[in-house]
Structure 1
Amino acid sequence: MKEPASLRNRLIVAATAWIALGMILAWLILSNVFRSHVSEQFYDELFVHLSELQRLARVENDTVVLRAPLSDPRYDVEKSGFYWEIQRQGKVLARSPSMKAAPLKTPPDGRLDVGVHTHRVAGPTGELLVAEALEWTDPAKPPIQFIIGTDKRHLDSVAASFNYTLSWALTGLGLSMVLAATLLILYAMRPFAQLNTALHDVRAGRTKSLPGSYPSEVQQLVDNLNAMFASTTELVQRARTQAGNIAHGLKTPLAILTDEAFRLQAGGQRDVAETILHQCRKMQTQIDYQTTRARVVAGRLSPGASANVRDVISDVVAALSRIHSQRDLQFDVDVPVPLRVACEAQDLQEILGNLIDNAGKHARTQVRVSASAVDDGMIDISVSDDGHGLPLEAHEVVFNVGERWDTQSAGSGLGLAIARDLATLYGGTISLGASGLGGLEASIRLPAAQ
């Protein structure tokens, strides 16, 4: 399953996209405004030069003579991109020295088309921006066309230069805004990172509440979480106390029933006594199992459950070594690095105590306990012995409450059931299989502490 993107990354991506969109829109608007402004300047300059051309031109029949050259010397440079022509009915009467090509052709104008017209036509060096005016010197003759134009490439060059500068300026501005937005978002998200670290500490069992002060928007959440942790801890203690009270309350009536059964047995009513004793043992087994389960369920609600695997295994092995000291059993422990499981230490002791004690009872000479971390965030613990093992059909039966495969040895048939139930309540598993030592291997898998 794909991991969802973090809120920080989403905000940074959204800010970057919004800033990029703003920069693009700004580029388009400013570029168009500038081009429009420059185009107006180009046409204003053409109008001025057109008016100047009309003032300087002296028309005599079909001959045109300029009293003086135009003030802009670019009209005298060949193929400079600045051109003018004076025509009548398509016949060139005069033209600028810069023109060395076919006559300019503009759309036809009627007699009512007075004033200045603008066109875009083909020129000697590319598309021309043209201003044109008609002048009637003789009502009986066609008008004289005064045409003056500038290459569009000059306008494009100015606009391209501006766009280049604008692109770099807006890119720099956009990057600085993205950097500023990123720093602002990172600064604004710092309290959440601190809160996440504090929650990890609570889950790992290093603290029981969230320390530190936070901004007012986050502090309310922190206060509510701390209140919930305190309430949960209180509920846990009440549940454990209640489980103890139930066990204590049933202990006395059960002892009385057991005593009455022994009295019936002494009076010769062996069948009745044996039935009562058998039921009393079953009730005691169920009481032990359910009170243990209630205690563990309450403990599972407590935040920050964590236990050091190597320390717990060492304590359990040290205690069981003394119990089995006369059998000269060898207990091998292989936990190379410190590992922590998300489990109360006393519950891990109970799980491992039952399994290691069970292995010690059936081992010939050796019990091996090892632990390692796996990639899925779990811790694997194995308990192996070199005993006779169990047949495959017994691997699940022995986990039932009150069930024992070996009825000759002492026990209530409760240890393995409690061990599996404890592991399940913490999100783990216990399974049995063949041991490399020749006997039985119990494999425990528990979640690693955060």
Structure 2
Amino acid sequence: MSLKRRLIVVASIWIVAGMIVGGFLLSAIFRELVTVQFNDELHVHLDELRRLAEISPDGAILQRDLSDPRYDVPESGFYWEIQRNGSIIARSKSLDGPALDIPADPPTNTYIHSYSIAGPTGTLMVLEQAKWIDPSGTPVRFVIGTDKRHLDDVLHSFDSMLGYTLAAFAALMIAASALLILYAMRPFDQLRTALGTVRSGQSTEVGGTFPREVQPLVDDLNTLLKSTAELIGRARIQAGNVAHGLKTPLAVLTDEAYQIKEKGLHQSAAIILDQCRKMQTQIDYQITRARAVAMRSAPGMVASVQKAALEVTSALSRLHKARPISIETNIPPSVSVACDAQDLNEMIANLVDNACKHARKRVGISLAQPLQQDRVTVAVEDDGAGLPPEAYEIVFNVGERWDSQKPGSGLGMAIVRDLARLYGGDVRLGSSTYGGLAAYLELPKATQ
């Protein structure tokens, strides 16, 4: 999972969790406030009922109706009742049926009591208070209540509205967080794009404008790229110096061998010349390998396969012009590999030169089928005699040749395999569609 996705997921989880906890807290606070408000309203109506009630031995009447008209609507859920000795002496127009079942209080208890009882339209939230009209008689009980469903409806409406509101707010917060994270991570996308241009060879350094927090990283990367390029340059120069330094002593030894041969010491001269040839082969091989190892570390290596094939075809056509050989190139211009151009030329040149030496009339350079997504396979084929399968690996050994009648040092195929493997590829042999030998050079495709 990418860093941006992780940050967005974590931010979303925290936002959702915060909204859930906040929703529960707000709902609990609102429930407490509304419940207190309902109780306060019942206290006010109970006090109003006691003040308006005129009690007589025959019953009770109110000087006027209560200020809340809902007590006059039948089964409205707002009820009041006045009782004496368990009998009803007055009740609201909204109430019908048997007397409200209020728990009995001690005779001397005149405090206000709250109960939840069964009412005609559901559970009632009830306040009750006893009052002595006649000290020698029994107290009168004033009862006022409201259906609990009214409170539940208010709470349910608030919870629904709160849930929708918090859900919408959470969605907006998540969207805002995602946009903020994407904006904050944008410099890293720019850095990735800039590094892509370096890898593809379009630029030698990471360019662009970056925030202060990212710019030191960009500067360090550019310094590293510059120092790497300098090290590679020095390595190539050093490899050339080694080759030049060994060439002169080897030439002296070879000349001495020929002088020894002129003096009649043919066997000694042959041994020295053979050893000089082997040393020259090893020097060429190791110098080429050292240069390739250095180039492999260089960023932004891109080489066009078509360009390399055309250059090789042009050079080898002139080299083998004495023979009726046709070199055909069929490589699309868009195919590129992650390899140094000089090394690619050397690999293709060795393969094509080897094919030209053994071909009768025809050599072909093309892309092997099927095409792969991240690899490029170049096929070099000829119409020569080919090789038996047991020789496919032998010819890759340094200094080994299967056909000693043909000119060569036995170094070309070994260099091709070593270079290909240094770049993460390989080379293999097989049967050609032309009837001869086919060499398949596989290299990683260049990053676009």
TM-score bracket for the superposition, by shorter chain length: over 0.9
Contact (CA 8 Å) 2:304, 2:333: kept in 1 or not?
no
Choose the corresponding residue for 1:169, options 165, 168, 171. 165
Which residue does 2:266 correspond to in 1? 270
Contact (CA 8 Å) 2:27, 2:159: kept in 1 or not?
yes
* Distance apart, 1:104 and its partner CA: 2.9
* Structure 1: runs of 5 or more not aligned: none
Q: 1:436 to 1:144 in 2, by over 3 A?
A: farther
Q: 1:89 to 1:204 in 2, by over 3 A?
A: farther
Which residue does 2:376 correspond to in 1? 379
Q: 1:360 to 1:126 in 2, by over 3 A?
A: farther
Structure 1 residues 76-115: aligned runs within 5 Å? 76-88=72-84, 90-111=86-107, 113-115=109-111
Choose the corresponding residue for 2:397, options 397, 400, 410. 400
Choose the corresponding residue for 1:255, options 251, 256, 280. 251
* Distance apart, 1:32 and its partner CA: 2.0
- Write out per-residue CA displacement over residues 389-417 of structure 1, whole angstroms, 9 at most, x where no aligned residue: 11111111111111111111111111111
Q: 1:111 to 1:230 in 2, by over 3 A?
A: farther
Q: Higher mean Cα deviation, 116-125 or 276-285?
A: 116-125
Which residue does 2:332 correspond to in 1? 336
Alignment pair present for 1:443 and 2:440: yes
- Write out per-residue CA displacement over residues 187-225 of structure 1, whole angstroms, 9 at most, x where no aligned residue: 222211111111000011111111122111111001001
The letter for the 2-side match of 1:398 is: V
Give the distance between the partners of 1:124 and 1:304, measured in 2 at CA.
87
Give the distance between the partners of 2:113 and 2:23, measured in 1 at CA.
31
Q: 1:327 to 1:102 in 2, by over 3 A?
A: farther
Give the distance between the partners of 2:134 and 2:372, measured in 1 at CA.
101
Q: Higher mean Cα deviation, 224-233 or 143-152?
A: 143-152
The letter for the 1-side match of 2:303 is: A
Which residue does 1:409 correspond to in 2? 406
Q: 1:275 to 1:73 in 2, by over 3 A?
A: same
Which residue does 1:325 correspond to in 2? 321
Identity across matched positions, percent: 54
The letter for the 1-side match of 2:93 is: P
Give the distance between the partners of 2:139 and 2:433, measured in 1 at CA.
115
- Backbone CA RMSD of aligned residues: 2.1
* Distance apart, 1:112 and its partner CA: 6.2
Q: 1:326 to 1:78 in 2, by over 3 A?
A: same
Give the distance between the partners of 1:89 and 1:383, measured in 2 at CA.
117
The letter for the 2-side match of 1:431 is: R
Give the distance between the partners of 1:113 and 1:349, measured in 2 at CA.
111
Choose the corresponding residue for 1:200, options 196, 202, 220. 196
Which residue does 1:238 correspond to in 2? 234
Q: 1:46 to 1:279 in 2, by over 3 A?
A: same
Contact (CA 8 Å) 2:79, 2:92: kept in 1 or not?
yes
Which secondary structure state, in structure 1, belongs to the residue aligned with residue 328 of structure 2? strand
Q: 1:411 to 1:68 in 2, by over 3 A?
A: same
Which residue does 1:304 correspond to in 2? 300
Which residue does 1:347 correspond to in 2? 343
Alignment pair present for 1:17 and 2:31: no
Alignment pair present for 1:229 and 2:236: no
Q: 1:111 to 1:283 in 2, by over 3 A?
A: farther
Give the distance between the partners of 2:134 and 2:400, measured in 1 at CA.
129
Give the distance between the partners of 1:365 and 1:358, measured in 2 at CA.
14
Give the distance between the partners of 1:62 and 1:251, measured in 2 at CA.
139
The letter for the 1-side match of 2:425 is: G
Choose the corresponding residue for 2:425, options 425, 428, 444. 428
* Distance apart, 1:155 and its partner CA: 1.7
Structure 1 residues 140-219: aligned runs within 5 Å? 143-219=139-215
* Distance apart, 1:31 and its partner CA: 2.2
* Distance apart, 1:174 and its partner CA: 2.7
* Distance apart, 1:229 and its partner CA: 0.6
- Write out per-residue CA displacement over residues 327-374 of structure 1, whole angstroms, 9 at most, x where no aligned residue: 222222222351111101111101111111111221222222112684
Which secondary structure state, in structure 2, belongs to the residue aligned with residue 401 of structure 1? coil
* Distance apart, 1:148 and its partner CA: 1.4
Which secondary structure state, in structure 1, belongs to the residue aligned with residue 213 of structure 2? helix
The letter for the 1-side match of 2:405 is: Q
Which residue does 1:284 correspond to in 2? 280
The letter for the 2-side match of 1:390 is: L
Give the distance between the partners of 2:415 and 2:82, measured in 1 at CA.
111
* Distance apart, 1:279 and its partner CA: 1.4
Q: Higher mean Cα deviation, 263-272 or 283-292?
A: 263-272
Q: Higher mean Cα deviation, 360-369 or 80-89?
A: 80-89
Which secondary structure state, in structure 2, belongs to the residue aligned with residue 217 of structure 1? coil
Which secondary structure state, in structure 2, belongs to the residue aligned with residue 405 of structure 1? coil
The letter for the 2-side match of 1:222 is: V
Q: 1:424 to 1:108 in 2, by over 3 A?
A: farther
Which residue does 2:291 correspond to in 1? 295
* Distance apart, 1:102 and its partner CA: 4.1
Q: 1:107 to 1:412 in 2, by over 3 A?
A: farther
* Structure 2: runs of 5 or more not aligned: none
TM-score (normalised: structure 1): 0.93
Give the distance between the partners of 1:446 and 1:324, measured in 2 at CA.
27
Which residue does 1:72 correspond to in 2? 68
Give the distance between the partners of 1:440 and 1:102, measured in 2 at CA.
112
* Distance apart, 1:69 and its partner CA: 2.1
The letter for the 2-side match of 1:278 is: D
The letter for the 2-side match of 1:74 is: R
The letter for the 1-side match of 2:347 is: I
Which residue does 1:122 correspond to in 2? 118
Q: 1:380 to 1:122 in 2, by over 3 A?
A: farther
Which secondary structure state, in structure 2, belongs to the residue aligned with residue 412 of structure 1? coil
Contact (CA 8 Å) 2:116, 2:125: kept in 1 or not?
yes
Alignment pair present for 1:418 and 2:406: no
* Distance apart, 1:15 and its partner CA: 2.2
Give the distance between the partners of 1:205 and 1:149, measured in 2 at CA.
85
